[in-house]
Structure 1
Amino acid sequence: MHSYSRTDIGWLLKMAWRDGRSSISRLLLFMASIILGIAAVVSIQLFSENVKQNIQDQSKVLMGADFIIDSRQLPNEKVQAIIDSLGADAYEVSFPSMAAFPRNGAAKLVQVRGMEGNFPFYGTLETEPINAAAEYQKRGGALVDATLMLQYDIKPGDSIKLGLVTFPILGAINSMPGSSGISSTVAPTVLIPYRFIEQTELLQLGSRKRYQYFFESPEADLIKLDKTLDPILDAENADLDTHTSTSRRIGRGYGNLGKFLNLAAFIALLLGCIGIASSVHIYIKEKLTDVAVLKCLGASRKQAFLIYLIQIAVMGLIGGILGTAVGIGLQQLLPFLLDGFLPFDVEVSISLQPIFMGLLLGVLMSVLFALQPLLATWYVSPLEVLRVSEKQARGSKKIRVFTFGAILLFILLFSLWIFKDILFAFAFVAGIFITFAILAGISALFIKVIKKYFPTAWGFTARTSLLNLFRPNNQTTVLIFAIGLGTFLISTLYFTKDILLTKTALDNGSDNANIILVDVQPEQRDAVIASMSPAGLEVIDNLSIVTMRMHSIKGKLSNEIRKDTTSAVNDWVLNHEFRTTFRDSLIASESIIDGSWVKEVNSGEKVPISISESLAENAKLGVGDPVIFNIQGVLMETIVGSIRKVDWTRLQLNFMVVFPKGVLEQAPQFHVLTTYVPDSNKSAALQRELVSKFPNVTVFDLRQIYTVIEDILGKISWVINFMAFFSILTGIIVLIGSVRNSKYQRIKESVLLRTLGAKSKQILSITALEYLFLGILGSLAGILLSLISSQLLATLLFEEPFVPSGIPFLLFLPSIVILVLIIGLSNIKSVLQSPPLNILRKVG
């Protein structure tokens, strides 16, 4: 076995440098493919690492305690005994309510937190002035969100009215553990001592309250505690949250965004790999004569092969370094772009793993995907100097199979690293392999159909362009494959982007309510409606809400189901306090998917209820199944009459359980009213009047919620579009390289046509038609395949509905066809501008 000395290695490096120095411009597509692909991977992986690390590091600070026991009602004796045995260090009750500011008459929906104890134990309750955090409980004052104070020009020393109690404002809350940025923007926090809650008289029937008990226990075994106590608390309608489980939940909350960013990185890198293969194919095809000359001068096939392998590896390393640098820069932007979306500040740090992977990927993907075209240098004959051979030796079949297997393994390992799921990794590799096979099959079928049904009556230029598609050494399969695959990946990314951004189209027109009045008591309803009439506001919805729990499902008591370890019924169904309503018709966000809707029932009849699709799945209920509800001590027998599909994304009142009329009218209830307010002035006036007359009524101004959500989704949309653009740009570069791949064959054919007397216009038409056919077939096949892949991604990965957009058909299809056409025509530009003999000398 031959071993190389330092002299031999030095000679190889010199030859690689001398040859590559004159070919830098020809490798720009190669470099661009690597840089963009690596930049996408490094930036996304660095950002993901930072988010995970920040959540882990700040999990205690985000919660403010080691663990929390919470309940939607006052704890019963069993839950209270557990709380007492663990020794709660602080506790609170929190609920949304309207607050009034007597100095300027303003009113605002806030989140009231009645606190007892020295909370938080981790992190800091940051206030202005600083001492307000330590003094508000002792002095009986309120701390108010700093942004809210700024909006309403409120200062320490002013007052805030909550229900029947007016509190002095002692300071502004700058930050507080246990409250997210999004929720505090919609309903800013107001912190008061717990002992004043009862005096406010804000907690009424139906109030959405939450009792929380905070524990400081750094030595506690949280995993064991969660495993032991959580099932007991769940059975009593309470819950245990540890700081570790909270951090995992926060991480899952940004799952779809992370999945999309990983998908964008995966596609960008895959497109980059295809770009490498295409670019190296072009490059090596130009160099085959040089390789033949080297072999004539005594160079071995291994030396010729290594010269170009060294070039590609070095270019891959440089591309990896540049791509990693760009990725680090992009990573610095992502926290800024997502400011306000994440419930914590992401401290940007540089971890070594993504950087090392970026550099390794640069070399690995360059060498691996360039290996197949590089093998042409191994089998080129020295006689190539003396003759022109269109057909190149393909080499050993075993080597080609080995190379293909190595590429599949690389894609599998990379997707496993990106998605951290072996099933997803195999699914992606299988999907890509199937796509490859389908595109190859389409091109083969296309050639067969043209041969069988060749339009002999067509003109010379049209016939010649079709003949080129199945002539010897044609590149129809290669071009349809490259164009189709590039279009497939770009369209899949676009459709996936649409899946995540569907919810950004919020409907806030005048036909829909934008003010919701909650917790309206029965004796207040008429008076509240009367307060709205002078302002010219019409009541859109006037709903009665009845709270209840499931007593038994299909004849089996809820307590028995909880104890049954084999039961498939979800625990939350058994513990949930359902807010139900009754009406005689469906609303816009609902549609019946099973059973039939019942408008009204008479006394003594069976009560057919309508349940949401999600509840039916979680409770394992079907049409005709019996359910008994406990309505504040009274048992009511019902059967499932229908199952509804509910669009929960709409900002309107949707319900899991809906009763027909004639059943719940006399049950204990509260009311919800909705109306439409045209502008902020009328909204503010309505809120001021209601908070002064009915302090327990909570007003949700959806106009403010729309603004917050649109701002957050706008930031997410920007990031998603930016990363999608990054991958699409890579795809365009790949398409350019793939079409340029056919340049040399086209030049020779066009020269021969000119030599035989063909006019420039005819050559132009033949070339244009050929690339038009290839562009249309390749891009159309890619888009149609992307519809299938996007549906699978929506269902299996993102668990979101998929509504196809027309943009890929209306924009991508013509754009890619035009791009292919322009590049294809540019291939023969030199033929049309120079004498045939000059061209033959250059390419011969």
Structure 2
Amino acid sequence: MSNLLWLLRMAWRDSRRSRARLLLFMASIVLGIAALVGINSFGDNLARSVREQARELLGADLVLSANKPFAPSLKPVLSRLGVARTREVSFASMAEFRPGKGVRLVQVRARDGGFFYGEWLTEPRAAAQRFTEPGAAPGALVDDVLLSQFGAKVGDSVQVGRVTLPIIGRVLKTPGQTGIATAVAPTVFIPARLVRQTGLLQRGSRVQYRRSFRFAPGTDVAAVIKPLQARLDKADIDVDTVASRQQQVGRAFADLTRYLSLVAFVALLLGCVGVASAVNLYVREKLAAVAILRCLGASGRQALMIYLLQTSGLGLVGAVLGAALGAAVQTMLPRVLGDFLPVAITVSVSWPAVLTGLATGLLMAVLFALLPLLSIRRVSPLRVLRVAFEDDTTAPDPLRGVVLMIIGLFILAFAYQQTHDWKLTLGFGAGLLVAFVALAGMGRLLMVLVRRFFPVGWGYVWRQGLANLYRPQNLTLTLITSIGLGTFLLATLFLTQALLLGRVQIAGRGSQPNLVLFDIQREQRAGVENLLRAQRLPVLQRVPIVTMRLLAINGRSSSALKKDTAGIPPWVLSREYRVTYRDSLNSSEKLTTGQAPTLGADGIPLISIETAYLKRAKLKIGDTLDFNVQGAPLRAIVGGSREIDRSRVQPSFLVLFPAGVLEEAPQFVVLLTRTPNTAVLAAVQQVLVRDFPNVSAIDLGLILQTVEDILDKISFVVRFMAGFSILTGLLVLSSSVVISRYQRVRESVLLRTLGASRRQILRITLVEYGLLGLLASLAGIGLAVLAAWALAVYVFEASFGPAVLPLLGLAGLVTALTASIGLFNSRDVLRRSPLEVLRAEG
């Protein structure tokens, strides 16, 4: 006990002269733990809110949905389900706001009642009740975003197909609908009894039919629906319960929380690098003090414990401060991410996240400080007499390998705890190992090359600056590793963001289409094309579309495949496929395997599947697929795969059939054209609403504006969360260079004593730090390009072409920052007398 008290007193006394330097060490922990606690607390609060509000997300206890009307044979069964029922028919259509306010594609939801759970908020508040009253005059409820866009108000009217209704209220909130969903697909609610009068439900129209049910409290809905599951599956009716909706939302936002967790993990790892580099330089400065302790009788183990207690105490303080900051930050995340979330998050302190942060911060401080502190055990008392004696700390240490192994296990365990995915964990760990080894190897190689090929004929300033790269007490390895890693993170974030933004660029200029007309029935095609010709608009492309569902793969039915959890993903079997047919690939497609669509010798069509979807669906060339083409069976064989350039303005399809198979199947046509200005666009839309009310027109200019708004919000979220990592990376970079001041000050003072001018010392410092910053930044950018290429190819499945000029600008910025901080470190040497500086440092 007395020994422990002595160690604590020594650790406290020794820290009094070094607390300002150790604050940088603590700051790395604070930011890393703040990101970790903030994001994990947000994830816990999100999961809890989803559990509590799952019924409000669904708006009912049970929802049945299908893409065709429910069979009359199911009516007796469905009429006995629950204690209350509502119906909804939803479809996309053009809506015209009158008088003369404009036309836009909307999502029409025809309902015969309200929602059983959740808040359907309208203005005026009585509008929702009036809408659902059986005897009330019919009216429409319109999303607030639509009314704002067209300057319409309650009391105006909206035309949907052949029906014109007064607008009786604006919809401010709908159960389960997010702000982003409202911006992309704004909704117009109309009474269900009027849906037939619109004239929009025609053969081939894409319509969603829903039945919602409310059960008595305490009812086991899953048990009630289980006996009907086989009949519902046979009728292609999807079942959605409160439990399944909770799982769906949890899975959807698991990706979000997983991404945010990785952001926190990167910030934490950068903090670990900051800890290791700060303690490494701190230990070098303390070697003389340790030698004195050894002369006074302290053992190597006691000396190690003194400084380990110092760093552990600071690590605990940093973890506490970081946890407090993280708890404060997580209150901001629901505001930042509010438009993306279907639930209202109630913010509270997540104690598991706080405790995890505290434990992680302490472990992080101990493990990453222990690595450089190990050398203290072997400091010889001889250092008191021989300052340059280094053999005691440079000899191999068997415990170093053990500590490195523990650190590696700590990183992998923490990565798995954050991602719950071993493949992602191992890939992330391997990437970090490659980055560290590459940066450390570059540092070692630089020292060897400078020493081996030293330019003896260069000027004094250059020789002195280059010699500093390999002399005793050199900073080359530490600074290149820490600065390179910070640059690697910044460059990777930049390249990934550019990649994602590039994927959604739509070429709406020149002769590219800017107007898409779809849901055109076979008998309407000639009339719509005549309409375009009358407006002097070209028909740039005609695309027939047939809808179908997948019944079996290689003879195994979809119901049997759904039970095989290790086989085909369930979404492959449950989705509706919209396909087209032609004998050749278009300009946006490239054959990757097999052949283009064609008819086989036996008459079975050989189809082409998009390459990425082929992999995700776990299909392969030669597989046999049985489809249900709106009641008619059709067998096809996977004959090839193709890549699709989705930045081109033309319809793309996961499945492509050859000609000669689907021509007689029920289908609709998509036409692509280009309008020269908004006046012509408005005229086309007006005629379409009047003569072809079921035909919908997508204005790509409007879609681009919506996409741009969404991307702005997504970019803000990415930048906001990446800010933790960027701040930590910059802190690591700055702290590493600032702390290096204590390694160079004595040499600079000695040079001044020997007659070196202030300008010479300034230039020597500039050469050393400028080279370190330039080489570290270039190495980090090189690694970032490789990482971004891997993300583009293996994750985003997109072409990759880095922007060179911004990357060179980043290299220049990091180099300038490193050199500036290095020069800032020399201010005392340049302004004060050598003796005064030595006394201050001593």
What is the TM-score when the length of structure 1 is the normalising length? 0.86
Name the structure 2 match of 1:271.
270
Summarize the Cα distance change of 1:167–1:328 in structure 2 as closer, same or farther, 3 Å threshold. Answer: same
Per mean C-alpha deviation after superposition, the further-off stretch among 534-543 and 712-721 is: 534-543
> How far apart, in 2, do the equivalents of 1:368 and 1:559 lie?
52
String of CA shifts for 1:631-672, please: whole Å, max 9, x gaps.
556666766554221245766421233345566555543222
C-alpha contact (below 8 Å) 1:61/1:122 kept by paired residues = yes
Name the structure 2 match of 1:522.
522
Whether 1:212 aligns to 2:210 is yes
Whether 1:113 aligns to 2:113 is no
Whether 1:145 aligns to 2:142 is yes
**% of aligned pairs identical?**
44
> How far apart, in 2, do the equivalents of 1:105 and 1:690 lie?
16
Per mean C-alpha deviation after superposition, the further-off stretch among 569-578 and 688-697 is: 569-578
> How far apart, in 2, do the equivalents of 1:534 and 1:396 lie?
86
Summarize the Cα distance change of 1:228–1:284 in structure 2 as closer, same or farther, 3 Å threshold. Answer: farther
Name the structure 1 match of 2:118.
123
> How far apart, in 2, do the equivalents of 1:609 and 1:485 lie?
47
Per mean C-alpha deviation after superposition, the further-off stretch among 796-805 and 331-340 is: 796-805
Name the structure 2 match of 1:30.
25
Name the structure 2 match of 1:51.
46
Summarize the Cα distance change of 1:784–1:307 in structure 2 as closer, same or farther, 3 Å threshold. Answer: same
Task: Kindly state the Cα deviation for residue 92 of structure 1 after the two structures are TM-superposed.
Answer: 1.8
Name the structure 1 match of 2:708.
710
Summarize the Cα distance change of 1:568–1:380 in structure 2 as closer, same or farther, 3 Å threshold. Answer: closer
Task: Kindly state the Cα deviation for residue 141 of structure 1 after the two structures are TM-superposed.
Answer: 1.6
C-alpha contact (below 8 Å) 1:292/1:384 kept by paired residues = yes
Q: Counterpart of 1:205 in 2: which secondary structure?
A: coil
Name the structure 2 match of 1:93.
89
C-alpha contact (below 8 Å) 1:484/1:781 kept by paired residues = yes
Summarize the Cα distance change of 1:354–1:615 in structure 2 as closer, same or farther, 3 Å threshold. Answer: closer
Paired residue total: 836
Task: Kindly state the Cα deviation for residue 195 of structure 1 after the two structures are TM-superposed.
Answer: 2.8
Name the structure 2 match of 1:736.
734
C-alpha contact (below 8 Å) 2:435/2:783 kept by paired residues = yes
Summarize the Cα distance change of 1:716–1:842 in structure 2 as closer, same or farther, 3 Å threshold. Answer: same
> How far apart, in 1, do the equivalents of 2:338 and 2:559 lie?
47
Summarize the Cα distance change of 1:420–1:612 in structure 2 as closer, same or farther, 3 Å threshold. Answer: closer
Letter in 2 for 1:345: A
Task: Kindly state the Cα deviation for residue 61 of structure 1 after the two structures are TM-superposed.
Answer: 0.2
C-alpha contact (below 8 Å) 2:85/2:213 kept by paired residues = yes
Task: Kindly state the Cα deviation for residue 253 of structure 1 after the two structures are TM-superposed.
Answer: 3.1
Letter in 1 for 2:92: P
Task: Kindly state the Cα deviation for residue 208 of structure 1 after the two structures are TM-superposed.
Answer: 1.2
C-alpha contact (below 8 Å) 1:204/1:519 kept by paired residues = no
Summarize the Cα distance change of 1:140–1:503 in structure 2 as closer, same or farther, 3 Å threshold. Answer: farther
Letter in 1 for 2:93: S
> How far apart, in 2, do the equivalents of 1:279 and 1:107 lie?
63
Letter in 2 for 1:185: A
C-alpha contact (below 8 Å) 1:504/1:710 kept by paired residues = no
Q: Counterpart of 2:730 in 1: which secondary structure?
A: helix
Name the structure 2 match of 1:243.
242
User: How do 1:632-651 residues align onto structure 2 when only pairs under 5 Å count?
Assistant: 642-648=640-646
C-alpha contact (below 8 Å) 2:543/2:669 kept by paired residues = yes
Q: Counterpart of 1:214 in 2: which secondary structure?
A: strand
String of CA shifts for 1:329-384, please: whole Å, max 9, x gaps.
33232222223222333333322222333344444433332234445555555665
Unaligned ranges ≥5, structure 1: none
String of CA shifts for 1:3-54, please: whole Å, max 9, x gaps.
238xx74x76666555545544323322331222222222222222222222
Per mean C-alpha deviation after superposition, the further-off stretch among 94-103 and 472-481 is: 472-481
> How far apart, in 2, do the equivalents of 1:737 and 1:264 lie?
21
Summarize the Cα distance change of 1:631–1:20 in structure 2 as closer, same or farther, 3 Å threshold. Answer: closer
Task: Kindly state the Cα deviation for residue 817 of structure 1 after the two structures are TM-superposed.
Answer: 2.8
> How far apart, in 2, do the equivalents of 1:473 and 1:641 lie?
65
Q: Counterpart of 1:332 in 2: which secondary structure?
A: coil
Letter in 2 for 1:93: V
Task: Kindly state the Cα deviation for residue 270 of structure 1 after the two structures are TM-superposed.
Answer: 1.1
Name the structure 2 match of 1:202.
200
C-alpha contact (below 8 Å) 1:580/1:657 kept by paired residues = yes
> How far apart, in 1, do the equivalents of 2:484 and 2:170 lie?
59
C-alpha contact (below 8 Å) 1:484/1:779 kept by paired residues = yes
> How far apart, in 2, do the equivalents of 1:572 and 1:315 lie?
51
Summarize the Cα distance change of 1:75–1:779 in structure 2 as closer, same or farther, 3 Å threshold. Answer: same
User: How do 1:498-537 residues align onto structure 2 when only pairs under 5 Å count?
Assistant: 498-503=498-503, 505-509=505-509, 511-533=511-533, 535-537=535-537
> How far apart, in 2, do the equivalents of 1:731 and 1:226 lie?
54
Per mean C-alpha deviation after superposition, the further-off stretch among 42-51 and 421-430 is: 421-430
Summarize the Cα distance change of 1:183–1:207 in structure 2 as closer, same or farther, 3 Å threshold. Answer: farther
Letter in 1 for 2:37: V
C-alpha contact (below 8 Å) 2:62/2:242 kept by paired residues = yes
Task: Kindly state the Cα deviation for residue 784 of structure 1 after the two structures are TM-superposed.
Answer: 2.6
C-alpha contact (below 8 Å) 2:35/2:724 kept by paired residues = yes
User: How do 1:783-794 residues align onto structure 2 when only pairs under 5 Å count?
Assistant: 783-792=781-790
Name the structure 2 match of 1:541.
541
Task: Kindly state the Cα deviation for residue 512 of structure 1 after the two structures are TM-superposed.
Answer: 3.4
C-alpha contact (below 8 Å) 1:469/1:476 kept by paired residues = yes
Letter in 1 for 2:105: L
Whether 1:415 aligns to 2:411 is no
Name the structure 1 match of 2:62.
67
Superposed CA RMSD in Å reads 4.1
Task: Kindly state the Cα deviation for residue 680 of structure 1 after the two structures are TM-superposed.
Answer: 4.9
> How far apart, in 2, do the equivalents of 1:337 and 1:619 lie?
34
> How far apart, in 1, do the equivalents of 2:648 and 2:50 lie?
30
C-alpha contact (below 8 Å) 1:273/1:366 kept by paired residues = yes
Summarize the Cα distance change of 1:378–1:557 in structure 2 as closer, same or farther, 3 Å threshold. Answer: closer
> How far apart, in 2, do the equivalents of 1:632 and 1:797 lie?
35
Q: Counterpart of 1:174 in 2: which secondary structure?
A: strand
Summarize the Cα distance change of 1:613–1:306 in structure 2 as closer, same or farther, 3 Å threshold. Answer: closer
Name the structure 2 match of 1:477.
477
Q: Counterpart of 1:141 in 2: which secondary structure?
A: coil
Summarize the Cα distance change of 1:227–1:787 in structure 2 as closer, same or farther, 3 Å threshold. Answer: farther
String of CA shifts for 1:44-85, please: whole Å, max 9, x gaps.
222222222222221110111122221111234676676456
C-alpha contact (below 8 Å) 1:143/1:173 kept by paired residues = no
> How far apart, in 2, do the equivalents of 1:818 and 1:552 lie?
62
Name the structure 2 match of 1:653.
651
User: How do 1:413-812 residues align onto structure 2 when only pairs under 5 Å count?
Assistant: 413-450=413-450, 462=462, 465-471=465-471, 474-503=474-503, 505-509=505-509, 511-533=511-533, 535-549=535-549, 556=555, 568=567, 576-583=575-582, 586-597=585-596, 609-614=607-612, 616-617=614-615, 631=629, 642-648=640-646, 652-660=650-658, 664-665=662-663, 667-677=665-675, 680=678, 682-750=680-748, 764-792=762-790, 804-806=802-804, 809-812=807-810
C-alpha contact (below 8 Å) 2:36/2:268 kept by paired residues = yes
String of CA shifts for 1:690-733, please: whole Å, max 9, x gaps.
21222222222333332232222211211211332331222122
Per mean C-alpha deviation after superposition, the further-off stretch among 335-344 and 54-63 is: 335-344
Per mean C-alpha deviation after superposition, the further-off stretch among 49-58 and 362-371 is: 362-371
Task: Kindly state the Cα deviation for residue 782 of structure 1 after the two structures are TM-superposed.
Answer: 2.8
Q: Counterpart of 1:340 in 2: which secondary structure?
A: helix
Whether 1:331 aligns to 2:330 is yes
C-alpha contact (below 8 Å) 1:795/1:801 kept by paired residues = yes
> How far apart, in 2, do the equivalents of 1:785 and 1:328 lie?
34
> How far apart, in 1, do the equivalents of 2:249 and 2:305 lie?
50
Task: Kindly state the Cα deviation for residue 294 of structure 1 after the two structures are TM-superposed.
Answer: 6.0
Summarize the Cα distance change of 1:33–1:570 in structure 2 as closer, same or farther, 3 Å threshold. Answer: closer
> How far apart, in 1, do the equivalents of 2:562 and 2:832 lie?
87
Letter in 2 for 1:443: G
